[in-house]
Amino acid sequence: MHRSLLALAALAFIASCNEEDPAALFADVSYQLRCLDCTPVSADSPKRDFSVSNGQNGTTLSCNVSSGLISLAISGEGFKLNVLDARPGDDPGNRCEVQIAEGGSGNEYRGGCKGVGASGSQPCEVELVRDGEGSFDGTVECHGIRHRVTAAATRHVVAPGTTDDPAQISVQGCAGL
In a domain, 134, yes or no: yes
Q: What is the pLDDT of residue 108?
A: 94
In degrees and rounded to multiples of 5, residue 4 shows phi and psi of -65, -40
- DSSP of 149-166, one letter per residue? S-TT-EEEEESTT-SSPP
3 within domain boundaries:
no
> Once rounded to an integer, what is the mean pLDDT over residues 18-33?
81
9 belongs to a structural domain: no
Tens-place pLDDT, residues 27-62: 999 999 999 988 778 899 999 999 999 999 999 999
C-alpha separations of 172 from 19, 89, 169 in Å: 19, 17, 10
Residue 13 lies in a domain: no
Categorize the per-residue pLDDT at 132 as very low, low, confident or very high, splitting at 50, 70 and 90: confident
Give domain status of residue 61, yes or no.
yes
d(CA 154, CA 143): 8
Using pLDDT thresholds of 50, 70 and 90, give the confidence band for residue 105.
low
What's the domain count of the chain? Answer: 1
Domain that holds residue 89: 24-172
In a domain, 5, yes or no: no
- Mean pLDDT, the chain, integer: 88
Asked if residue 108 lies in contact with residue 99, where contact means CB atoms within 8 angstroms, the answer is yes
Instruction: With respect to residue 77, please indicate whether it lies within any of the assigned structural domains.
Output: yes
Residue 107 included in any domain: yes
